Structure 1
């Protein structure tokens, strides 16, 4: 069977223009607002990760015993994507963004008031399921961008997404140390409410006849992925990449605050600044995708991620190796994400549904890898986490190295 890099023209050359002609590019202020809103709402998924030690202390548990809450957030996000993101093809996005904003805010407030790990997990699950607003906005950006610069416009939002993820770790760790973990959830809810409603007000007015039902998007996903080898490849490759990143990043606070380094929550949170530095890769990756196509960018990203895994393992004893590994894994993840998501958005005539399949695959891979990493850390320490990351990268690439 032919290799993935030679299977289709789309995997060799820049993505083709979708059948629907895009409208003129979004104004700068509109794109900026979408980017900021995406950053804030994406951060909600990762609020718990830098606060695990504080949450465990409050509930009288060991940090490793509450690590699963970070995985719950990713599973919740995957479920929310299945339910809500496909609706971007059929319903009024302004109303949908408004409703999801209110639901996310209420769930974050419930998280702050949780009296135990079970209640907290349920509230985090609901908040993560409802905070899928960025994945309703990214297809809109792709539709409005000129074809020659589509990947660059998508990269702006992706860069903001990763900035929000890093901010969740850095600001969340600092605020949690200063004011407690409950205040972090309350603050996130306030920001989500303001930015979500503001973004909803400026979204284009859409009059779309409702078709299907809430689960119609889920039923359409298998057939859509089956008919598009490019979409299938993008889904699997990003699941492998995001799983490796999630395994390492969600467990990193346990390493940094554990006996190996003994850092405080706030100091460990500052470690996320290295990931923020790597987020500048997104605009560069967007330009490379527009010029050379997705396949080359993804292949280079996988090579960089493969180098980062042994660096992370060495970082269990040497701090400089952790610095280098953090930059490398973020750069690889961002570049891979820009390439794969641009391909997913342009390979079918239903971009919102295709984007749902792509992001669900990525976050499902991330959630499973995070759960396995927590177990691996409890039994084999940091080396077990690195092994999980390495296996996920191997699966993500080898599974797509041949075409079905």
Structure 2
């Protein structure tokens, strides 16, 4: 359950003026923008076999590009997300949108794996717009519905992550992987600029230098046990999901199943179905607290890992596992991020610590999963996911 500190801050939050909460249209635009921008991080995952064929490599030899994307996102979060507490978010969203679009165009024109990895890194580092918007939504939401509003944006974000596999796989098979990156650039530019235009004009107080929020992160996490717990538990959950989801295309397009890139991409539909969990999780967090929802999410994930292992031989198990792991991830994310946003007086900086921890855990797990797949096959990937879940839960369970 949230600590007394969290409860006090939630109940002592200033009363917002009527009409200041995010309306449905505003939330919808932010959710769609979050979906498109978040998808950029995972564009490469369903296209690995096409990229490898184009560059004359084995799919496992280019799997590290998916990890580069997650490392890039973690770096971008570290650099840019804390600025939400001190700079004009409208200008920041506009600048990051332009940089992301240029990097996606560079990805489409990449002559080799090194150039592609560099462009993917820049794309992911600049595509942190959703994490600038989530604190804004939390600030504008009434306290008794905050988790529901955050969940609406998270639902859009995860829909984009999953749709990246479906749409990316289908479009890559039909038009080539370069066209996927180019099309993503166009969508990012249009929706990013549209979102920037509707953001409230604001003058943010600035103390210290522009990136002073970065050195404050360790102390902020150390002073807030709730924030620390949210960071570690989401790192474990997101790491388990990343290990399985970024390696799934290698299993499906490999000799075990021999599916095409487009058919493998359709597996994202099972994860997309689990995105409906976000609103339900938001309501449960508002009613029962974050701790109970996270505990239930970890139990779901613990069921999903052996199902994924069984899916190495039986495809129906992959269908069930894809739904279960996404439901667990979405519920965990709604609970942990709501806790992170309400446990300190600097929500953008706290959100940075939370999301950086999650994506750093995901990036490391993805890198280990790629190596495990090369050496031990799909069973090695499932083992990495299981270890990440154990670490995420037991590390927080022993600290009071």
Partner of residue 215, structure 1: 211
CA distance in 1, matches of 2:242, 2:342: 26
Shift of 1:208: 2.0
Q: TM-score, normalised by structure 2?
A: 0.97
The SS at the match of 1:400 is helix
CA distance in 2, matches of 1:9, 1:314: 43
After superposition, residues 350-365 of structure 1 pair within 5 angstroms as: 350-365=346-361
* Equivalent residue for 2:383, pick from 387, 393, 397: 387
1:50 aligns with 2:46: yes
Partner of residue 187, structure 2: 191
Distance 1:342 1:62, change over 3 A: same
Task: Determine if contact 1:15/1:342 at 8 Å carries over to the other structure.
Answer: no
Task: Determine if contact 1:38/1:134 at 8 Å carries over to the other structure.
Answer: yes
* Equivalent residue for 1:114, pick from 105, 110, 114: 110
| Post-superposition CA distance 1:320-368 (Å, at most 9, x none) | 1001100100000000000000000000000000000000000000000
After superposition, residues 4-403 of structure 1 pair within 5 angstroms as: 8-9=3-4, 16-17=10-11, 19-22=13-16, 24-403=20-399
CA distance in 2, matches of 1:100, 1:77: 12
CA distance in 2, matches of 1:272, 1:14: 40
Shift of 1:27: 1.2
CA distance in 1, matches of 2:357, 2:342: 17
Task: Determine if contact 1:14/1:294 at 8 Å carries over to the other structure.
Answer: no
Shift of 1:115: 0.3
CA distance in 2, matches of 1:101, 1:64: 31
| Post-superposition CA distance 1:43-97 (Å, at most 9, x none) | 0000000000000000000000000000000000000000000000000000000
Which stretches of structure 1, 4 residues or longer, exceed 6 Å deviation after superposition? none
CA distance in 2, matches of 1:83, 1:296: 32
RMSD (CA atoms): 1.4
CA distance in 1, matches of 2:238, 2:222: 22
Structure 1 unaligned runs (5+)? none
CA distance in 1, matches of 2:315, 2:72: 33
Q: TM-score, normalised by structure 1?
A: 0.96
Shift of 1:214: 3.8
Distance 1:114 1:101, change over 3 A: same
The SS at the match of 2:160 is helix
CA distance in 2, matches of 1:182, 1:162: 23
Task: Determine if contact 1:20/1:349 at 8 Å carries over to the other structure.
Answer: no
CA distance in 2, matches of 1:289, 1:159: 15
Distance 1:264 1:340, change over 3 A: same
The SS at the match of 1:280 is helix
CA distance in 1, matches of 2:205, 2:36: 30
Task: Determine if contact 2:293/2:332 at 8 Å carries over to the other structure.
Answer: yes
| Post-superposition CA distance 1:269-290 (Å, at most 9, x none) | 0011000000100000000000
The SS at the match of 1:403 is coil
Shift of 1:19: 3.9
CA distance in 2, matches of 1:273, 1:14: 41
Shift of 1:14: 11
Residues paired across the two proteins, number: 398
CA distance in 2, matches of 1:259, 1:14: 56
CA distance in 1, matches of 2:12, 2:193: 30
Distance 1:297 1:166, change over 3 A: same
Deviates more, 1:20-29 or 1:230-239: 20-29
| Post-superposition CA distance 1:129-150 (Å, at most 9, x none) | 0000000000000011111110
CA distance in 2, matches of 1:16, 1:402: 26
Shift of 1:216: 1.2
